[in-house]
Structures are given as structure tokens and as C-alpha cells.
Amino acid sequence: MYEKSLITVLNKIYKPTNSIYYGKGRAYTYELPQDLTLKQKKVLEDSAFEINKITTYKHEEVVEKLKQIVKDESLEQKVLHLFFRIFAKGEPRGIQSMYSYYFAKYLPAHSFSPFEDGEVGDYKLDRCKISGLKKQSEQNDGKNLFDFYIGYPSFYGCANLLLDLQEVQNSPLEEIDDKDINAFRELCAFIDNVDEKVTYSKLETLISKAKILKGSTKTSRTWIIHLFAHLGILNIPHLKEKTILKGFTTYKEQFLYELELHRNSKGEVVFPTSFWSGKDGVDKDVIEEIISKVK
């Protein structure tokens, strides 16, 4: 895991003004900004972090490696410990890993399955209808790793999930204590008591005002809420069997759910979070299930 001092430096580097675009399907690269101090340059140099590590990922290879990596019996505990460090320690790195691990755990072995014309209306989707992975993609692994550390994850089938779990697998088990568990419970209890008309977007504002998530940002709070929906912590009655703790929901299924919501909503639609409102509260059984997994 990388030190906060490096993440601070990377935050100055990975800005749109420093990016170079090479065309559709190509990964952005980044130049060092002129305002980096000598101290910041030294932090970057000492870390050996590659800011432009360009990698080409292929669907079949990513699926195979994801299925292989979750066979590592130590990986789930590393993921869970990172997850609990989000709440009291203010470290958002575990947002991505919690999603990646359970996505990979239940991901079925399969070959690239393209959408047929008209299969989802007039939409043209260049992803596998099972996993959501592209047949081939070029990624800047450096930028994607940085996004994990600031709590800006990818919650769909993409090569980033493999990059994420590979880093976690090669890292030591992070320590957690009762404060981390209690902070998680506190957040869940807060959500369970919000007004029944609260939407997920309003929920982020309420959590921010309550100041119950140490070191969080609007970005990390938003994605914690989305993660809670995927895990089933946010209680969405008709989607209880579609959580990542229960099994795998195909990319096509998720897309169709979003289309269903689009017909009745003018705002942004995000599966499964958009199906939740304050009246649904939290699922206490799921909360206890996650806590019970920690060893």
C-alpha cells in the first residue's frame, strides 16, 4: 500500500490539465506539472511509482486471472480489513477491493459474449454482456491505482478489478480494531434512521453534515454509498438476491434494470443504488454477516 505523501503528489499530477489524449480506445498519459516541489519530486522518485504504466488487457485473460486470484485463501481477509479501515481511519482504498473481490468470487467462467443488434433496444454496447469487460482495453494502471486510493472506484466489469486485487494480494494484512468495527456500525445506524424520503444523493449530504466519516470526501462518501448498495447493506427488497455477497448479476441484467429506472426517472440512474430510499433503511443481517467474516 502506498503512503499518503505519495497520494498527495499524485493528486497534483493526475489532473485533466496534465493529461495527453491519444484517441478513442487509448489510455490517457500524464505529464509532471511544473509546480511540483523538489520534495514532492523526491517522494515520487523514492516510491518508484510509474505514473504512466500502460497495459493492454484482454477479456479472456482478465477473467481467467480473476478466477485464479480469488483462490488465494488469504485474500478475503486482506480485503475485509481494508474495508473496515474506511470508517474510523479514513482510508478509502478498500472501497474498490470489497467490490472487486466479490465480483471475482462469483464471476462465472466464460468467453467474450457480445451484444446482438437490438438486444437492448437501440443501444450499442461494446462490452461482454456477461461480465461487462471489453474484448480488449488499454489502461493506465498508474492512474487507476491512484483512483482506488482516493475512493473513486470502478463498479462494473473492467480490467481495473484485476489490477486492484493484484495489489491487495501482494500487500500485507492491514490491522483493524474495535474502533473500525464500531465506526462501521455507527454509519449503518445513521443511514437506518434517515427520513424515509431521502434518496442516495441526499444521503451523501447528510453523512457529510453529520461528520461521521473521518477524512472522507464527497467522492469517497458517494462511492461508499454505492458500495453499500452492491453489498446489500442498503436494503433494497426486490434486489436482495442481486447483491455481490449473494452471487453474480450479469452486465446485461444490470443494464436492463437501469433502463427500467430511466423510464420513470429524469435524473441519473445507477444500479442498484437508485432503487433505494430512506424508507428501506439497512439490512441488519447483512451488516452482521460482513462483521462475522472478519478473523
Domain assignment present for 98: no
Query: Which regions of the chain are under pLDDT 70?
Result: 121-122, 264-267
Domain assignment present for 42: yes
Domain assignment present for 65: no
Domain assignment present for 96: no
pTM given for the model:
0.94
| Residues 88, 180 contacting (CB under 8 angstroms) | yes
Domain assignment present for 224: yes
Q: Is 294 strand, coil or helix?
A: coil
| Residues 55, 139 contacting (CB under 8 angstroms) | yes
Domain assignment present for 259: yes
* Rounded (5°) CA angle 107-108-111: 115
For residue 28, give its domain range. Answer: 1-52
Q: Is 291 strand, coil or helix?
A: helix
Domain assignment present for 245: yes
- pLDDT of 180-205, one tens digit each? 999 999 999 999 999 999 999 999 99
Q: Is 176 strand, coil or helix?
A: coil
| Residues 59, 131 contacting (CB under 8 angstroms) | yes
Domain tally, the chain:
2
pLDDT of residue 268: 76
Q: What share of the chain is helix, strand, coil (3-state, %, to 5)?
A: 50, 5, 45
Which residues are within 8 A (CB) of 207 and not within 5 positions of it... i.e. 6 or more apart?
187, 190, 191, 213, 216, 221, 225
Domain assignment present for 104: no
pLDDT of residue 74: 97
| Residues 294, 176 contacting (CB under 8 angstroms) | yes
What is the Cα gyration radius of the chain?
19
Beta bridge partners, 139, equal 55
pLDDT of residue 123: 75
pLDDT of residue 265: 66
Domain limit, last residue, from 52, 72, 87: 52
Which residues are within 8 A (CB) of 27 and not within 5 positions of it... i.e. 6 or more apart?
54, 138, 139, 140, 143
